[in-house]
Amino acid sequence: MDKNIQILSEEFHQNPTHVENVVKLIDEGNTIPFIARYRKELHGSMDDQLLREIDDRLQYLRNLDKRREEIRTSIEEQGKLTDELTEEIANASTLAELEDIYRPYKQKRRTRATVAREKGLEPLAELLRQVITEGTPEQLAEPFIDPEKGVETVSDALQGACDIVAEDLSDNAEIRRLLKDLIRKRGELTSKGDEQQDSVYRLYYDYSEPVSKIPSHRILAVNRGENEKILKVGIHVDEQNALAILTRRAVPEGSVTAELMRETCVDAYDRLIFPSVEREIRSDLTDMAAEQAIKMFGVNLKPLLMQPPVKDKVTMGFDPAYRTGCKIAVVDATGKVLETGVVYPTPPHNKKDEAKATLTRMIKKHGVTAIAVGNGTASKESEIFIADMIKDLDGVAYMMVSEAGASVYSASKLGAAEFPQYDVSLRSAVSIARRLQDPLAELVKIDPQAIGVGQYQHDMPQARLNETLGGVVEDCVNAVGVDLNTASPSLLTRVAGLTAATAKNIVAYREENGAFTERKQVLKVPKIGPKAFEQCAGFLRVANGDNLLDNTGVHPESYKAAEKLLSICGYSSKDLSVNGLPLLAEKLELYGEQKAADECGVGVPTIRDIAKELGKPGRDPRDELPPTMLRTDVMSMEDLKPGMVMRGTVRNVVDFGAFVDIAVHQDGLVHISELCDRFIKHPSEVVKVGDVVDVVVLGVEPAKKRISLSIKQAKKAVEEQEKDK
């Protein structure tokens, strides 16, 4: 078995055959969404997230193998490759280990040790390492005095030889490994700051925490404080224990050179080894913290994108502002703009009556039933105004919508191309309205980093962040499916197998030739060949087309299997309608899934998926989630009292807890300790963005804009209320 396949199967606890199939599918150019959805039999129904993790790890292992071969070849060309070294290189499991092995053989810049070697002092360095019981180090050094080579004195000779020994110790892979292990187990990350200077980093002015326990968000916090030159950050480890690692290997006990070698160990540690290892450990910590933050960003982004759409509602987008006025856009149930305007209900204008009359007219004229209010500047005053206004309007509700990224979209080329007739601020109002109607379709137009559901995103490796978030967006778009006749180029670009160019070609083709009536017409679009069609076809939907299967997640390659399944269960293709066949899955189970799969020529996972899709053509998985919570009233922070039980929506999940919107403009924090009764390693184990949760107010600090909440105590409070009823 291929070594990498074995490593992957062990690390991810997966069947080696399944892992081997995944690697083969990736190498053949298949996309992750396609593999996840349409090749389940080959990989045991792994989900898209696991497949991406395997793909990431596979690329790392392949890069490791490439570097392994480069290092082996380089050392061999130097004539220094031994069987022992070959084995060390072969057994190295990380890039860091490989680089430590290669360190002594790298071409170095000119160092003190390099100069000493040029002066012929390497034999003296070897002597100093040996057990010599007679004479003194000075006597050993006398034969190496050579003014022509720049070795004027015994002191010069000893200093040069000690420089060679120090560099050799610094290059020793085992010493570096043991020292790193010591720091990881017993070291502490420390930070200092000027107590006279007030800043958001005051918590870290005299701070230390074990390297083995420090959470990722604190690593990122001290890093940012250091970058802003407010904190001095370092790693502390007991120097005696650290030096013992060197002295055990470098000091020839009982030798006349022992004391000199002890001093050399101290010099090697202070000048060469510790600064280098400290940088590596801190780099590793930062990489770990960044990876955790990026992963958390992805975890938060997915439920945000997959929020249930507010369908079939004429919606008003309300973009709050002070001096420049609040921008308004009314869009119909399909997102088409019906009317725009500007009102001034907020300071300094305070034209509330005029604004109320204008908005009431627009609401009645267009039949608005939902208002999306942006949560940016002046949103508190705007929310109070909206809540008061709709008291007189039956059937109208509102929801606070995150504005994150709306201004980025409004000022982008995409925003200008989509709405050339509107200025930047009105485009924001349109985007806010559409975010309520269909979060996924609107948010794909925005750089995922600008959506704001993470922490320290600007400190992350941008390429890695883009790759991860791009994968999340791709998975969400393909999980929902895309209407071939209405999807924007932004949405189509995220479909597996399509690119920005082919997405534009699809839009251009339908504008020129009219609506698509079947999926296979996509093959007529320029630059979409059989492979691209194979990857994208199952994720494209054609509503009201010639074939109802084109409006399902059934892949065209499985159409014959779908028709056979209908026949087995007593149906014909004529029985398939837009209302679906809700009893199909039940009939399949009675007939026997394995038996039906064999007769249809597919695997059991595929036959199940086909039955699910035929049960409800045009199925949107977001419809199965709890609906979006619309509001009709508003509270202020001053209204909150400890013990109050409220319902809110999770807006962000971070390492230390979750932020919950409870309709008082300021999100409250549920600390990780207040999420549930059992021990959890991370808040994402129990809550996700978009969850509607009951919370109890623990404390309110209006001056600091802090609200402390509890979910676990709310459950008890709700139970008590039920008993009282």
Q: Identify whether the C-beta of residue 114 lies closer than 8 Å to the C-beta of residue 143.
A: no
State how far the Cα of 216 lies from the Cα of 49, in Å rounded to an integer.
21
3-state secondary structure at position 577: coil
Q: Identify whether the C-beta of residue 122 lies closer than 8 Å to the C-beta of residue 162.
A: no
- Single-letter amino acid code for the residue at 291: E
Q: Identify whether the C-beta of residue 185 lies closer than 8 Å to the C-beta of residue 241.
A: no
Q: What is the mean pLDDT of residues 663-691?
A: 88
99 HSE (CA, 13 A, CB side): 7
User: What is the per-residue pLDDT for 724?
Assistant: 59
- Model confidence pLDDT, tens digit, residues 532-570: 999 999 999 998 888 999 999 999 999 999 999 999 999
Q: Which residue has the tokens 């109890």?
A: 696
State how far the Cα of 194 lies from the Cα of 201, in Å rounded to an integer.
10
The two tokens of residue 253 are: 């006990």
User: What is the per-residue pLDDT for 689?
Assistant: 86
CB atoms near residue 177 (< 10 Å) = 16
DSSP 107: P
- 514 alpha-carbon distance from chain centroid: 39
Percentage of the residues of the chain whose pLDDT score is greater than 90: 67
The H or E element that residue 621 is part of is none
Query: At 220, is the pLDDT very low, low, confident or very high (cuts 50, 70, 90)?
Result: very high
Query: At 629, is the pLDDT very low, low, confident or very high (cuts 50, 70, 90)?
Result: low
For the chain, list the domains and their CATH numbers.
3-105 (1.10.10.650), 315-463 (3.30.420.140), 500-624 (1.10.150.310), 637-724 (2.40.50.140)
User: What is the per-residue pLDDT for 578?
Assistant: 74
User: Which residues does residue 234 pair with via DSSP β-bridges, in sequence order?
Assistant: 190
Q: Identify whether the C-beta of residue 685 lies closer than 8 Å to the C-beta of residue 646.
A: no
Percentage of the residues of the chain whose pLDDT score is greater than 70: 96
- Model confidence pLDDT, tens digit, residues 135-173: 999 999 999 999 999 999 999 999 999 999 999 999 999
Task: Judge whether residue 722 has pLDDT over 80.
Answer: no
Task: Judge whether residue 257 has pLDDT over 70.
Answer: yes
Q: What is the mean pLDDT of residues 517-538?
A: 96
417 HSE (CA, 13 A, CB side): 8
- Model confidence pLDDT, tens digit, residues 21-37: 999 999 999 999 999 99
Q: What is the mean pLDDT of residues 360-387?
A: 91
User: What is the per-residue pLDDT for 381?
Assistant: 87
Task: Judge whether residue 721 has pLDDT over 70.
Answer: no
Q: Which residue has the tokens 């409250």?
A: 668
Q: Identify whether the C-beta of residue 290 lies closer than 8 Å to the C-beta of residue 412.
A: no
212 HSE (CA, 13 A, CB side): 9
Q: What is the mean pLDDT of residues 446-465?
A: 77
Average pLDDT score over the chain: 91
- Model confidence pLDDT, tens digit, residues 306-365: 888 888 899 999 999 999 999 999 999 988 999 999 999 999 999 999 999 999 999 999
State how far the Cα of 229 lies from the Cα of 218, in Å rounded to an integer.
16
State how far the Cα of 492 lies from the Cα of 522, in Å rounded to an integer.
12
User: What is the per-residue pLDDT for 63?
Assistant: 96
- Model confidence pLDDT, tens digit, residues 116-144: 999 999 999 999 999 999 999 999 999 99
Peptide bond into 702 cis (omega under 30): no
Q: What is the mean pLDDT of residues 450-475?
A: 82
User: What is the per-residue pLDDT for 664?
Assistant: 77
Query: At 107, is the pLDDT very low, low, confident or very high (cuts 50, 70, 90)?
Result: confident
Query: At 196, is the pLDDT very low, low, confident or very high (cuts 50, 70, 90)?
Result: confident
Query: At 635, is the pLDDT very low, low, confident or very high (cuts 50, 70, 90)?
Result: low
Q: Identify whether the C-beta of residue 38 lies closer than 8 Å to the C-beta of residue 479.
A: no
Query: At 17, is the pLDDT very low, low, confident or very high (cuts 50, 70, 90)?
Result: very high
State how far the Cα of 268 lies from the Cα of 419, in Å rounded to an integer.
65
Instruction: Report pTM.
Output: 0.82
- Model confidence pLDDT, tens digit, residues 581-625: 888 989 999 999 999 999 999 999 999 999 999 998 888 888 876
State how far the Cα of 156 lies from the Cα of 174, in Å rounded to an integer.
30
The H or E element that residue 458 is part of is none
Q: What is the mean pLDDT of residues 77-81?
A: 93
- Model confidence pLDDT, tens digit, residues 488-511: 999 999 999 999 999 999 999 999
State how far the Cα of 540 lies from the Cα of 633, in Å rounded to an integer.
40
Task: Judge whether residue 51 has pLDDT over 80.
Answer: yes
State how far the Cα of 282 lies from the Cα of 300, in Å rounded to an integer.
26
Q: What is the mean pLDDT of residues 464-472?
A: 88
Following DSSP, what letter does each residue of 678-718 receive, concatenated?
S--S-GGGT--TT-EEEEEEEEEEGGGTEEEEESHHHHHHH
The two tokens of residue 240 are: 């005696």
Which one, of 457, 310, 397, 380, lies nearest residue 637 by Cα?
A: 380
3-state secondary structure at position 388: helix
User: What is the per-residue pLDDT for 447?
Assistant: 80
User: What is the per-residue pLDDT for 141?
Assistant: 93
